[in-house]
């Protein structure tokens, strides 16, 4: 198998933590959208009703979308 060059190694090292974070955020968001119990469903409904408040709305949005990714190019 051919070895990748140093540029590709650097690219992978730079992006791996970003991708891992995005995947973790997606898995957590999926749990939010598909509750496994009646209790989780009631909590989700209560939080969604509370999103009419700006502070709650921003918090829920950041929680579901994850943090912005910034990498030096």
Read off the pLDDT of residues 2-38 as tens digits, 9 standing for 90 and up: 567 888 888 888 889 988 988 988 888 888 888 889 9
Tokens at residue 46, please?
Answer: 């209560």
Which strand (E) or helix (H) includes residue 15? helix 6-33
Indicate the pTM of the whole model. Answer: 0.57
Give the closest residue to 61 by CA, choosing from 53, 69, 70.
53
Contacts of 32 (CB under 8 A, 6+ apart): 44, 64
């Amino acid at each position: 198998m051919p070895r990748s060059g140093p540029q590709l190694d650097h690219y992978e090292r730079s992006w791996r933590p970003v991708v891992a974070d995005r995947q973790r955020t997606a898995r957590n968001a999926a749990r939010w959208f598909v509750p496994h119990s009646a209790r989780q469903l009631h909590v989700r409904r209560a939080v969604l009703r509370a999103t009419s408040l700006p502070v709650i709305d921003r918090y829920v949005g950041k929680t579901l979308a994850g943090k912005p990714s910034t990498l030096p190019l």
